Amino acid sequence: MLLTKLHIPEVDKHSVKRIHLFEKLNEGLTRKLILISAAAGSGKSTLISDRIRQNKISAAWCSIDDRDNDPYEFLKLIITSIHKKQDKVGNRSLELLKSPESVSIEYLTELFINDVFLLKEDVVLVLDDLHLIVNKRIIDILSFLIEYKPNHLHLIFSTRSDPRLPLARLRSQNKITEIRSSDLGFSKNEIAHFFNKKFKIDLSVDDIDLLQVKTEGWIAGLQLTALTVKDRENVSEYIKVLAGDNRYIMDYLIEEILMLQTEEVKDFLLKTSLLEKFCGSLCDTVLEKNNSQSLLESLERNNMFIVPLDNERKWFRYHHLFADLLKQKLISKLPDGLKELHLKASFWHEQHNMDYFAIEHALEAKDNDRAMQLLDAIVEDLWKNGQHSLILKFGKIIPEKSITTNTKFCIYYTWMLMRAGSIIEAEKLLKKTEQILLKNKQDNNTNNKDLFGKLSLIYAFLYVLLGNMKMVKRYSKQALENLSKKNAIWNGWAYIALGDSNFINADLKES
């Protein structure tokens, strides 16, 4: 897990202090849930992090992305976030989450809630970008958590759209505090403060009135406007030009901002937009430069929608909305250069042991062979560490003809397919893998023999699911004949499967 996902965002010293919203957050801590639901660029994350840092609240922060849509990975994320703050919480749950054996998500959730209950200390759990969760089972987990959480666990959900939680019931019971776009929009006084303190721009009363009407106080639009007018002589005339809805304004302003940059900065912004997070060294590699760190520092000083991800200001990301707009520009301006950029990023991440991102960029570059080569090196660690959803994810993304070139990955992938209930798909892949291993078995390679043993054990478990205990016995024995003696866990499972098959087949002597 990336520890930067647990980092509470930094707050700019010139940020507008939203006293009335701070009071609303304080009030919400006495209820079941605080829901902050508003469009991108509305200042949701800034509001929460500013309040946490101002009051020095004990808070666990989870920056959610679309990779968190596996229920087990999601639960692991929120448990780890609180465990980092309170190490008494989640030890048993995290241990069970690493196990390749199936443990019910309901049991793990209850275990987590009980741990927090015994803690008896106030802690805030923030789920940022919750709109990226689309898995119904995770929504059910959150509904259960809201209903049964102890009073000293406070929940704050930040999202661009309302989650499918029982919000109507919570409203009727006065158990939810909601902060919406209309609450987050800057007032006229806040607009004046924002432009003056952060950008050293003095606006006239008419300018402020016009901006308030045109942007409805939308913070991202105001910041982009400030970036485009700060060096202009006639600010008022430029503000009058702005028209249209927020999306139109964003497209217009991003073009204006890029026009104001040097070619070097413009190139840097566009090409680094394909990186989910970045540091100076990574940017140097992708852009073949040697001054990226100073450029990053300059971008932060100039409020160019760049977010620090650690206290040392080594790692950064762009504001999501800004990154999306830059990526669109990059794709339209440099469609043929994307593969090379992604491959450079992939090699950098591999060299720095950031395998997940190395694989992601290889896949973005459409280099499936490289992705499989990288997966081969880490699939056993993914399995041992309980990162089963990643094995499933990559297995579903990569074409089958590439997957079947790697028998080791196939074995772990079929196990995960079975666990996910995709029995037919798992059996089909098992047979293809078996054919490859049988061809290679004559090489008398120790690794191939061990892989064949693992494949045999997966067959045994497949036949457990299909209710054919004679085949379970056959494949369990075959597994024990081929598995390396160093694989204590696999051998243990093989003996358990063999014993169960003998018992059910009434072969008590052999069992």
Of 11, 86, 6, 98, residue with least CA distance to 53:
11
For the chain, what is the mean pLDDT? 87
**Same-domain status, 218 and 319:** no
Classified as helix, coil or strand, 159 is strand
Residue 382 lies in a domain: no
The amino acid that residue 248 corresponds to is Y
* Domain end marker among 125, 157, 184: 184
The model's confidence at residue 243, banded by pLDDT at 50, 70 and 90, is low
pLDDT at position 303 is 73
What DSSP assignment string belongs to 61-114?
EEE--GGGGSHHHHHHHHHHHHHHH-TTSSHHHHHHHH-SS---HHHHHHHHHH
Residue 229 lies in a domain: yes
**Same-domain status, 85 and 204:** no
- Is residue 149 within 8 A of residue 6, CB to CB? The reply is no
pLDDT above 80 (res 101): no
The model's confidence at residue 506, banded by pLDDT at 50, 70 and 90, is low
> 289-340: per-residue pLDDT in tens?
999 999 999 888 877 878 888 888 899 998 887 888 889 889 988 888 999 9
Of 97, 51, 91, residue with least CA distance to 71:
97
**Same-domain status, 193 and 176:** no
**Is the torsion defined by CA of 226, 228, 230, 232 positive or negative?**
negative
* Domain end marker among 231, 260, 289: 260
pLDDT at position 505 is 61
pLDDT above 70 (res 25): yes
The model's confidence at residue 95, banded by pLDDT at 50, 70 and 90, is confident
The rounded percent of the chain whose pLDDT value lies above 70 is 95
Residue 460 lies in a domain: yes
Q: Enumerate the H helices of 230-287 as residue ranges.
A: 235-241, 246-260, 263-272, 280-287
- Is residue 306 within 8 A of residue 326, CB to CB? The reply is no
Strand-pair partners of 155: 125
pLDDT above 70 (res 389): yes
**Same-domain status, 51 and 199:** no
- Is residue 475 within 8 A of residue 456, CB to CB? The reply is yes
* Domain end marker among 226, 244, 260: 260
**Is the torsion defined by CA of 379, 469, 509, 475 positive or negative?**
negative
The model's confidence at residue 4, banded by pLDDT at 50, 70 and 90, is confident
pLDDT at position 445 is 64
**Same-domain status, 114 and 216:** no
pLDDT at position 67 is 85
CA distance 448 to 453: 9
The model's confidence at residue 79, banded by pLDDT at 50, 70 and 90, is very high
Angle between helices 91-98 and 105-119 (to 10 degrees): 160
CA distance 315 to 8: 13
**Is the torsion defined by CA of 369, 373, 374, 380 positive or negative?**
positive
| Helix or strand (DSSP H, E) at 440 | helix 423-441
**Same-domain status, 158 and 77:** yes
- What Cα–Cα distance (Å) separates residue 286 from each residue in 81, 289, 291? 31, 8, 12
Lowest mean pLDDT among 46-60, 63-77, 104-118, 222-236: 222-236
Do the bridges between strand 33-37 and strand 153-159 make them parallel or antiparallel, or are there none, so unpaired?
A: parallel
The model's confidence at residue 465, banded by pLDDT at 50, 70 and 90, is confident
CATH of the domain at 453: 1.25.40
What DSSP assignment string belongs to 236-251?
HHHHHH--S-HHHHHH
- Is residue 71 within 8 A of residue 215, CB to CB? The reply is no
Domain count, the chain: 4
Work out the average pLDDT over 330-357: 94
Cα diameter, the chain: 95
> 40-65: per-residue pLDDT in tens?
788 999 999 999 988 878 899 999 99
pLDDT at position 446 is 64
pLDDT at position 80 is 94
pLDDT at position 479 is 84
pLDDT at position 507 is 59
Work out the average pLDDT over 82-108: 84
The model's confidence at residue 361, banded by pLDDT at 50, 70 and 90, is very high
Residue 390 lies in a domain: no
pLDDT at position 310 is 86
Structure tokens belonging to residue 26: 């304080």
Give the HSE-up count for residue 341: Cα atoms under 13 Å, Cβ half-sphere.
Answer: 19
**Same-domain status, 70 and 134:** yes
pLDDT at position 444 is 61
**Same-domain status, 94 and 29:** yes
Q: Highest mean pLDDT range out of 94-103, 222-231, 272-281?
A: 272-281
**Same-domain status, 21 and 130:** yes
Lowest mean pLDDT among 59-68, 133-142, 221-230, 338-347: 221-230
CA distance 282 to 442: 45
What DSSP assignment string belongs to 182-214?
HHHS--HHHHHHIIIIIH-----HHHHHHHHHH
pLDDT above 80 (res 440): no
Work out the average pLDDT over 25-32: 94
- Domain containing 273: what range? 267-373
Structure tokens belonging to residue 215: 């942007």
pLDDT at position 215 is 81
Q: What is the DSSP letter of 6?
A: G
Residue 378 lies in a domain: no
The model's confidence at residue 360, banded by pLDDT at 50, 70 and 90, is very high
Residue 393 lies in a domain: no
Residue 422 lies in a domain: yes
**Same-domain status, 199 and 239:** yes
Q: Phi, psi (5° rounding) for residue 16?
A: -75, 125
CATH of the domain at 134: 3.40.50.300
The amino acid that residue 215 corresponds to is T
**Is the torsion defined by CA of 112, 117, 123, 128 positive or negative?**
positive
**Same-domain status, 48 and 175:** yes
What DSSP assignment string belongs to 21-34?
HHHHHHHHTTSSEE
pLDDT above 70 (res 247): no
Residue 481 lies in a domain: yes
**Same-domain status, 34 and 152:** yes
Of 152, 219, 169, 163, residue with least CA distance to 12:
219
Burial label for 179, CB within 10 Å (0-12, 13-18, 19+), is buried
Look up the pTM and report it: 0.77
